[in-house]
Chain A
Amino acid sequence: MDLSELDKDNTGRCRLSSPVPAVCRKEPCVLGVDEAGRGPVLGPMVYAICYCPQSRLADLEALKVADSKTLSENERERLFSKMEEDRDFVGWALDVLSPNLISTSMLGRVKYNLNSLSHDTASGLIQYALDQGVNVTQVFVDTVGLPETYQERLQQRFPDVTVTVKAKADALYPVVSAASICAKVARDQAVKSWQFVEKVQDLDTDYGSGYPNDPKTKAWLRKHVEPVFGFPQFVRFSWRTAQAILEKEAEGVMWEDSAAEEQEGSRKITSYFQSEGLQARPPHRYFQERGLESATAL
């Protein structure tokens, strides 16, 4: 898979896709949606769609695609190249969501949680297929959160296609299995060849699985703490594991939106009994509004 677009800039979102097979513009198509790398504290999350004409579904099944989790990395690579050989009737597209995009979404002033991010990304990819002229009639999605509400939302957004959202859809529908293989191949390759934005000293690429409970991953996180900046952007700062390590091993940081809450806390009751006369007069509003204070000592 050619990830050179991602290597150029991996701080945001990156979309990659195959050309649309001509037959997919004419014949009614099934489309599967799946994701890889949702749980890990390291690296991107990848969302993928895969589609083919309903009439060729048997040919896709004949490739023996299966849930990507039950396949070895080699088998996934092999299946993906077979799908590439079948590009006259199989198409795919994917979104690589960088760890930086995930962190900044989840830690925004208005929190944008991972489920919403996932749902919106999946909708975006289905819309992309439609915009490219793929004649999508049926969509199968591996669920994130409750399948019923997710299905309802997608069905509302795409009233002209039949949407099926199910847990374990990647094991039930070959077109979702195919999507899961695309996603996993891209995620594995992206992690392996990750271009660090930072100039990290003594970079260790033995991350372990990237899952927060993997001792190797935890050791990697601890080793790469930078006291001021925290971690390289390869780390999802919004993960509890990452935050816990920062709390212990990095300097504290107060943001303007977190500070406001604390300052407005109640005054100590004894403060009302203290003579006001001892307190210095606050500076004029002109200076307060500009964050200026007079300094009398260094």
Chain B
Amino acid sequence: WNADESAVEKQRIHVRPATLQDAAPAALHFLPCEVLASRPAPVERFFSPAIRQGADGLQVSFRGRSMRGEEVSVPSGLAGFVMVAEEKEEGLIGKQDFGDSENNGEEQEQEPLERGFDRFMGATGSFSSFTVWGLETVPGPDAKVRGALAWPTLAAAIHAQVPED
């Protein structure tokens, strides 16, 4: 879809490659609700110790509501990272460090960075599986997130070069 692209504010994202190697394994929980805030939460003190292995999967409660959960693996060939964006101006201060040559520089001459357009992000954690929670029932094979995980493989197939016969 390209009709309205001009109306959308775009950004160029740079990943700090070193952070991907250093990212420590993280325990992730995907909840069937939205917490209307973005802030650190004491998961290790309040949530993890309350998880029980029940007959129909993992169980726990959040805000007095019952949840059932299961472990979902990141598809093979992919790796999971928790990414955190740096403050808008951070990457622009000091020397303009474009990833240490990871940039397989074929397509781009290193363009100068632009305020507001170039953003940097780094990994704070890595994961190869995470826990998906459903409200009162196990999310099961039809869970949205399972479908979402199938997209990268399909995308790769769609965009792969088709050999000419």
Contacts and interface: CB of A to CB of B under 8 A. Distances in A.
A209 B36 CA distance: 33
Contacts, number: 123
Given A296-B10, A298-B11, A252 B37 contact: yes
Contacts of A232: 46
Interface in B130-165: 135-136, 144-145, 147-148, 150-151
Contacts of A251: 35-37, 39
A236 B64 contact: yes
Nearest to B7: A280
B64 A107 contact: yes
Interface stretch (A114-122, A184-192, A221-229, A267-275): A221-229
Contact of B135 (A109, A199, A228, A238): A109
A11 interface: yes
A129 B70 CA distance: 37
Q: What does DSSP make chain B's interface, helix, strand, loop or mixed?
A: mixed
Interface string B60-91: 01111110000000000000000001000000
A230 B37 contact: no
A256 interface: yes
Nearest to A238: B64
Interface in B8-23: 8-11, 13
B36 A253 contact: yes
A186 B90 CA distance: 59
B151 A298 contact: no
A230 B9 contact: no
A290 B146 CA distance: 8
Contact of A229 (B10, B52, B62, B145): B62
B58 to A, nearest CB: 12
Contact of A108 (B121, B136, B145): B136
Given A108-B136, A255-B32, A237 B41 contact: no
B61 A100 contact: yes
Contacts of A200: 45
A228 B61 contact: no
A198 B33 contact: no
A253 B9 CA distance: 29
Given A199-B45, A255-B33, A104 B8 contact: no
Contacts of B107: none
A226 B45 CA distance: 11
B33 A254 contact: yes
A233 B47 CA distance: 10
B3 interface: yes
Contacts of A259: 34
Nearest to A251: B37
9 contacts: A103-B64, A197-B50, A198-B46, A227-B39, A228-B37, A233-B50, A237-B63, A290-B145, A291-B144
Interface of B: 1, 3-4, 7-11, 13, 32-37, 39, 41-42, 44-47, 49-50, 52, 61-66, 85, 119, 121, 135-136, 144-145, 147-148, 150-151
Q: Identify the 4 closest CB pairs spanning chains A and B, nearest first.
A: A237-B64, A103-B64, A104-B66, A228-B41
